Amino acid sequence: MKYIPTIFDPTIEWIKNDYRSYPLRFIVELFAWAISIFCSITMALTVPHPPLLLLYPIWILGCSLYLWAAFTRKSFGMVANYLLLTTIDTVGLIRML
């Protein structure tokens, strides 16, 4: 059977290369992404009274994981973004407690 290229081939190759270049970072980013999706779905399903005491620490963990991944990529913009998000949400959690 002859292989027919698709428009997704470059993306799939990029994902493979990303994994091969730094497998731990790839797994950490995948886990952080899952945390983000979990928190968003939980928030959407539980409004107007989301379980913030559960979600805030999990969200902060995800942001911290993304922060580390961005640092290992030497991505200043993403480091700045996730450092700020981690700080803002940590202050928010402390204020809530």
**40-45: long-range contacts (C-beta < 8 A, 24 or more apart)?**
none
Note the pLDDT tens digit of each residue in 40-77: 999 999 999 999 999 999 999 999 999 999 999 999 99
Q: How far apart are CA 70 and CA 87, in angstroms?
A: 16
Q: Strand, helix or coil at 59?
A: helix
Instruction: Give the per-residue pLDDT at 7.
Output: 92
- pLDDT recorded at residue 5: 82
pLDDT at 60: 98
Mean of pLDDT over the chain: 96
> What pLDDT does 31 receive?
98
Contact by Cβ (8 Å): 35, 61: yes
> Alpha-carbon torsion 34, 35, 37, 41, what sign?
positive
Contact 4, 24 (CB under 8 A): no
Structural domain boundaries in the chain: 17-96
Is the model's pLDDT at 1 over the cut of 80? Answer: no
